[in-house]
Structure 1
Amino acid sequence: MSTMDAKKALVANAAKLLDATKPELLWSLSIDELHDDIVTSYQGGDYADYKREWNTAVIDYFQETGVDLILNKARKPNWESISTALINRLEKIAFPKVSAAFDSSTSTASRRRSSGSSTVTTDTANSEADTEESQCKIPKLSTADKANVAMLYDRLDRNKMWKLSTGTIVEDKMREVALSMEYEHPTHSLILDISDKCWEKIFEKDEKNEIRSYRCTDLPVMSPEVESYLKELQGLSGVDLKKKVDSGDFPTESDSSWLQKSYQDAFRLVRSGFFPLQGQTETDLVKRVWSCVDTCFDFSVINSLSGEKCSKASADSANKERCLSKFGRQSSGRKMDYIFLTGPTETELGCGECALVEGVKSTKELTDANFKMPKVMKDMANRILFTRSGMAHDLCLVGFYMGANVMKMFTLDFPSGYVGRLNGIGPAYFPVNYENINSLEHVLRLILTGKMIMESQQVKTDNCQLTKPDTLERQFDEIAPTFVPVVPVKKKKRRKPTSHESNPNFSLPVVVIHKPRHLWTHGYEDDLKVDESQVIELIRLVLTDYYANCNKPAALISRLELS
C-alpha cells in the first residue's frame, strides 16, 4: 500500500464518525479527527509537503465517494494544535532524559506567561538567588564600573586614611578586595563588614579586633523604669506572664506602656493561629508581627514610616551626577520597608527591611541586610554630612532586618578615614508559641536600643553647626560617595498584537531549539542541559511553517537559525 493509500485508509475510518450532511465542515472535522494519526505518522521530511499530502488525501477521498467538499474560511482545519503536538513528540524523542522535567516546568512557565507581565533578565550574581525571590539583585560589574571603583579609591587623600597600629592602611586593603570582585560589593562604597569571610586572609586577628573596637558605638542603657518592668516579667511564662502583663498600669507615653502593649499583642497573635507562616504576605508581617517597631516611635522625636517608602538620601545619591549635558532619568531612590527620620527636618537616621524568608544567611538576608540596607544607610550619612561636616566621625545610622520571626539590628558608623563600619547585633526571635512569649524581651530590647541610638543622633545633628555655604560644585571629601553602577538604558519598542495573539483561544506551541549544551524553549525561561539532538531540523521545519502560516514577521523566524 502506498503512502497516499495509507492516508486515505485512515481518512476513511475517520469519515465514518463524521456527519456527511454538513459538507462545509467535513474537511476541518476530518483533520481534527485525524489529529493523532497525523502526529504519529510523521517520519521526517518537508513539513509543508506533509501537510499538503494529508489535505490532498482528505479531498481525494471525499471526491471518490461523491461528496463535494465546501471550503469554509471560518472553519479551517486546526493545524496549529497538530504542530504543537508534533513538536512535543519530537522533543520527547530527541531529549528523553529531560522530557519529564520539561513537562513539570510547563505549568509554572505558563502561569508566568499568562500573567501578562514582562520580565527583564539582568546579569546577577550566580548564587542561591536563582531559587529565591529578591527585590535587590546584585549586578555584575562592567568595565566602566571597575574603572569607576578604581577612580573612587584613587581620589582618596592618603593623609586622611585609617591607619591601624600595625601600620596597615584599611582603605588600601579594601581597594584590593574591591577591585577583585566581579559583582558589586559593599567595599565599592567604602563599607567594611569585618564579619564577611572575604577579610579572613586580608587582616590579621589583632587588626580585626582593632577595627571592631576603635571608636565603637556604645549601646545605650535602658531607663530604670524599663529595666524594672522587664525584671518583673523575667522567669514568668504562659498564664502567669499574661496575668502580670494585664495587671500593669503605665502612662500612655511611657516605654513601659509600649512594652505592655507589645506583650499583649504577641499573646493575641500567637493565640490567633498566625504561626506558622503559610500564605501570609510581607505586609502581614509588617502589620501583625512587627507592629511593635512602628508603635515604639509613637511618642519619639523619630518618626517611623513603614510600607515601601523611598529614601530621599538614596535618591540624592543616584541623581548626583545629573546635569543638562547628562540628563538621564531621575531616580526615586531605593524603597525600604521602614524609614526612620526626624520630625521637622526629616533627616533620615535609619531604615529597615522585612522579609518572609527565614533561615540562616538566606539570600534575602544577604542582599537586603548586608548589601541593600548598608548602601542606603551610607546615603543617609552622606546627606547629613554634606550640611554637617563636623559630625564626620561621630555619626551612627541604624538598620533593622526582620526575616520571618527573626530580628537583627545593624549600625553603620565612621570611626576613621573614609571607612563606613557595619556591625550587626542579634538575632532576637519573636515568639511563635504561647509558652515562649517571654523571649519577646530580646526583640523589644533591640528595638528600644535602635530607637535610643537614633534619638541621640537627632540631638547631635540639631546641635551641630551647619557647614558654611560654598560653591555649588563643592564635594564633601570626608566620606566617599556611595557607588552607583552604570546601568545601560534599553529602549523598549511597542508592538501591536497580531490577530492570533489577540485571540484568547490561540496559544503558541512549545518550541524546542537545540543550542550547545542547552535546551531553548520559546515562551519559557527554563535552562535545561541536554546531551544531543537528533531532530532539530525537523522541529525547525515545523516551526518555520507554523510562523509562516501565522503571518509572523521574518525577523522572528530568523531566531530559529542554529548558533
Structure 2
Amino acid sequence: MATAGSATAAATAAEKEDTRSDDSESRSVIVEYIEKCNNTEETPSLRDFIFTCMDDIVKLTDLRKNVYRFWATKFGKVLRDLNVEGKAEEEIDWSFVKELIKQKKTQDATKTASNNIKTSSASKSTTKSAKLMTAGVLNEIKNSYEDVLKSKKVWKLESGRVVEEVMMNLALKLKYEHPIHSMIINPDDLVYADVFDESELDEIRNFKSIDFDQPLPEDLQVYLHSFIGKWIKDKVFDPLDEADMYWARQTIDEAVNLYNYKFFEDDYIEDDVEYCIWPFISKCFGPTPIRARSGKRKSQASSARHNQKRSLSAHEPTSRHTVGMQPDMKCLYLNYEIGFSEVGLKDDGASGTKELYECGMKAPKMMKDFFSAIINEQPSVIRSTKIAAFIISGLHMSALIMDSPEESVCRITQSERATFPCDADVCVRQLIPIIELVYRVRLYLMETVNAIKNDNQVLSLESSSSTTTSNHYSSSSSTTTTTDSTKKQKRQ
C-alpha cells in the first residue's frame, strides 16, 4: 500500500525528471539557434533568439517559473559553455512573452478533436501568427528577393546597404512567418534592431515619410478647435455643401449622446464597437468617391492571392476555392480595395496577442494584397499608392498606412494609439485628435484615388501565362516568385 511519503517522493522524482527534460529541450533550442548564427556569421543575441524561436519558448516554458530567469540565464550559460560571444544582457518585453505562453496553455487545455470548430478571434490570431516556414517556401521567398535585386529597383541607403538584401538575409533565418516574408518592412519592428543601425532605421522611416500631420482644411480646423472648453456648438451645416463640417459636428453629437444615453454603463458587443463607438470612421468617406462598406465583406484581392495557383487538373480533383480575408469594413474606389478596418471588442493593450497579430501580421498582409492588386493593373501609380487600415480594440484605435517609396518593398507606418473618450469631462479634448487622424487617413487614401484617376498609361492585354505575378508577395499559405518590378518591365 502506497504511503503519503512515497507518493510525495514519486511526485518529486517525476517533477525533477520533467525539469531535466525541459532543461535538455530548452538547451537544444538555444544551441540550434547559436549554430545557425555561427553558420551565417551573425552575432547571437537574446532579443533575436526570443523573436526567432518564440514558438519553442512558448512550448517549453513553465509559468510557475521565473520566465526571465529561466531563458536569459540559460541563454548566457549556453554562450559560455560553447565559448561563443553574444548579447545576453538585453531588455526584453517579458510580459509579452508571458502573454503568449498563457494563450498557448489555454489553447492546449481547450483543444478538441475537431480542428474546424471556430474559436475566439484571439485564439485564431495566435495560431495563425505561428505559421512554420518550410524549406520550399523559403526558397520561393529567396527567389522573389533575388528577382528584385537583379532588377536594380532597390532601396539603397546612405550607408551603401540595400534594404532588400538585408531583409532577404533576415527573412531566410526566421523560422516562423513574418511580414518580411511578404517584402513588408515596419522600421519600428524590433526584429530589425539587430540588422539595421538606428540611423538606417531613421532613414527608412523618414524617406517620404508618413507623418499623419497633413494640414486640414482651415474651416474644419477652426471649427473643431472652437469646441475646446465648450460642450457643443449650436450651428447647423448642410450635409452636401459643407460635408466635412457636417461630419465633424455629427461625430461630436453622437459621442455626446453615448454619455446622455449611459451607453458605457452597460455591456456591449463587438458590433456596438463598430456601429456605436466608431461609426464616424466609415462616415468620413461619405463625401468622397471612396465607398466605405461594413459587414464582413470578403476581400477580392485577398481571395485572388489565396487562389492564384488554382487551376483545372487532369490527374486529381480541382482544389477548393479559398475565401479571402474578411475585414469588418472595407474602403473601395471603383473596383479597387484601398482600405479596411479590423474591429475587436476586447482591449488587452498594444502588446495584447490579438492586436499584435492584427497590426503585425494580418493587416500588413491584407494591405499588401490590396496594394499588389492596384499595381498589377496600374504599375505607374506605385509611388503614389497608399493603403490604409484602422485597427480597433474596444476604445482604442491605431491607423496603419502602407506605401512603397522606392517602388520595391512596402513600408508600414503606424500612428499613435488613440483612445476614445468614455467620460464626458474629456470628450472634446480626446475626440478632436481622433477626428483629425481619421480625416488625415482619408487624405492619404485620396492620394491613391487621384493617382488612379489621373493615370494616363495605356496597358496592353497579355496572355494570362505571361502576366501571373506575386507583386513581391510570398507567404507560407500561397507563394509565387515574380515581382512587382518584373511585372512593370513586362508592361513597358
Quick check: TM above 0.5? yes
Of 146, 160, 165, which residue of structure 2 is paired with 1:154?
A: 146
User: Which residues of 2 match residues 106-505 of structure 1 at below 5 A?
Assistant: 118-120=114-116, 134=125, 137-138=128-129, 139-158=131-150, 159-217=152-210, 219=212, 220-234=214-228, 236=229, 240-242=230-232, 244=233, 247-253=234-240, 254-275=243-264, 279-325=267-313, 327-342=318-333, 345-358=334-347, 359-438=349-428, 439-464=430-455, 465-475=457-467, 479-485=471-477
Structure with the higher fraction of residues in helix conformation: 2
- Distance in 1 (CA, whole Å) between partners of 2:369 and 2:441 is 18
Contact 1:188 1:483 in 2 (8 A): yes
Equivalent residues, number: 372
Residue type matched to 1:199 in 2? Y
- Distance in 2 (CA, whole Å) between partners of 1:351 and 1:287 is 15
- Distance in 1 (CA, whole Å) between partners of 2:169 and 2:117 is 30
Residues 165-184 of structure 1: per-residue CA shift (max 9 Å, x gap): 21101011111221111111
Note the residue ranges of structure 1 that are not aligned, 5 or more in a row: 1-42, 45-90, 99-107, 123-128, 488-563
Contact 1:386 1:467 in 2 (8 A): no
Residues 193-212 of structure 1: per-residue CA shift (max 9 Å, x gap): 00001111211222112111
Q: Match of 1:394, SS?
A: coil
Q: Match of 1:177, SS?
A: helix
- Distance in 1 (CA, whole Å) between partners of 2:121 and 2:431 is 34
Change (3 A) 1:135 1:452: farther
Offset at residue 468 of structure 1 (A): 2.2
Residue type matched to 2:390 in 1? F
**Residue in structure 2 matched with residue 65 of structure 1 by the alignment:** none
Residue type matched to 2:247 in 1? W
Q: Match of 1:426, SS?
A: coil
- Distance in 2 (CA, whole Å) between partners of 1:420 and 1:378 is 8
Say which is worse superposed, 212-221 or 304-313, in terms of deviation: 212-221
Contact 1:189 1:480 in 2 (8 A): yes
- Distance in 2 (CA, whole Å) between partners of 1:192 and 1:393 is 16
Change (3 A) 1:299 1:131: closer
Q: Match of 1:134, SS?
A: helix
Change (3 A) 1:261 1:121: closer
- Distance in 1 (CA, whole Å) between partners of 2:312 and 2:247 is 50
Q: Match of 1:266, SS?
A: helix
Residue type matched to 1:204 in 2? D
- Distance in 1 (CA, whole Å) between partners of 2:407 and 2:307 is 25
Residue type matched to 1:429 in 2? T
Contact 2:133 2:476 in 1 (8 A): no
Offset at residue 282 of structure 1 (A): 1.4
Contact 1:387 1:466 in 2 (8 A): no
Contact 2:331 2:337 in 1 (8 A): yes
User: Which residues of 2 match residues 86-101 of structure 1 at below 5 A?
Assistant: none
Q: Match of 2:263, SS?
A: coil
Residues 107-151 of structure 1: per-residue CA shift (max 9 Å, x gap): x99x979xx9933599xxxxxx99856387221223332232223
Change (3 A) 1:417 1:299: closer
Contact 1:161 1:171 in 2 (8 A): yes
Residue type matched to 2:287 in 1? F
Change (3 A) 1:136 1:255: farther
Offset at residue 304 of structure 1 (A): 0.7
Contact 2:396 2:419 in 1 (8 A): yes
Residues 472-516 of structure 1: per-residue CA shift (max 9 Å, x gap): 2234779412434269xxxxxxxxxxxxxxxxxxxxxxxxxxxxx
**Bigger Cα Rg:** 1
TM-score (norm 1): 0.60
TM-score (norm 2): 0.69
Note the residue ranges of structure 2 that are not aligned, 5 or more in a row: 16-105, 480-492
Q: Match of 1:308, SS?
A: coil
Q: Match of 2:249, SS?
A: helix
Residue type matched to 1:323 in 2? S
